[in-house]
Structure 1
C-alpha cells in the first residue's frame, strides 16, 4: 500500500497483500505532496482535500495532470456549475462518489494522462476499435462532392 499515508487515515486503512484486500479508506488533510496524490488510484482509497476558494482549487488542479475522476461536495448550484465547466477530468459526481462508474449509460474514461476515450457498452467497442477509411478507384461516386477540395490548387 505505497499510496497510503497512514497518518492521514480517518477511516479504514486495513489491507492484506496475501488476500488481495484493501479496506475502503478515507484520507483527510491531503496535500499535493501526499503519496496518494502522486499516482492514479484504482482501489477503495479516497484522498480528501478541503478548500475555501473554489477558483483557487480549480486553478491548482488544472496545473496538474488531469484526474480520472473528481468529486465536488457543496450546495451552491453556481459553484457546482463552475466546478463542472472549469475543471478538466474524466468523470465525477456532485455530492457523491464513484457512482458515475457504475452507470452503464454513462461514458467512463479519462483525459490526458489518465486515458483517452470512453468505455461502457458501445463506447467500449468504439474506443478499442480502429475504423480505417479506404478509397479504391473512386471514379465519380460520392467523391465528386469533394472535387473542389481535390482540385483546389488548380482552381485558384
Structure 2
C-alpha cells in the first residue's frame, strides 16, 4: 500500500476518519427509528433504499457524550465484513490521501486502542482512524443479529 485514503469527520469535538475502502457513501440526514432492546451503542434503524441499516452511536462506543441527532446531520454509510452500518457524524470533510508512511497502528490515549485501526500524522496533528470491524463488540453484534432476525420474522408473519 503506497497511499492511504481516508474520509475525515468530526464527532463530539474529536477529529476522526474511516478508511475510504469501507465507505459506501455519505448521506444527508436520515430518520432513525428506535429498535427496542438494541445495545446502547445502536441508536436505531434507518431505511436506505429499502434496506434497514443499524445506526451506530460512535461517541457512546468511545465513552464520550453523544451529541443529539440534528436535522441536517450527515450519515456515513459503512461496509464491514459482517454488515453495513450508518454512522451519524457532525461534519464530513473531503477525502484525504496520505503516504503509507504517515499511517501508524500506534494507539491514541484518548480512545481505547482496540477501537482504532491506527493513526495518521498530518500537519494538523493526529487523525484517529476508526476500525469499522470494532464498531460493535461481539455481544452487541449477536444481540443486533437476533433483534433483526426477530423483526424480519414478525414482518413475514404479518404479510
TM over 0.5: no
Question: Between Structure 1 and Structure 2, which shows a larger proportion of strand residues?
Answer: 2
Question: Between Structure 1 and Structure 2, which shows a larger proportion of helix residues?
Answer: 1
Which structure ranks higher in relative contact order (CA pairs < 8 Å, sequence separation ≥ 6)? 2
TM tier, shorter chain? under 0.3
Structure of larger gyration radius: 1
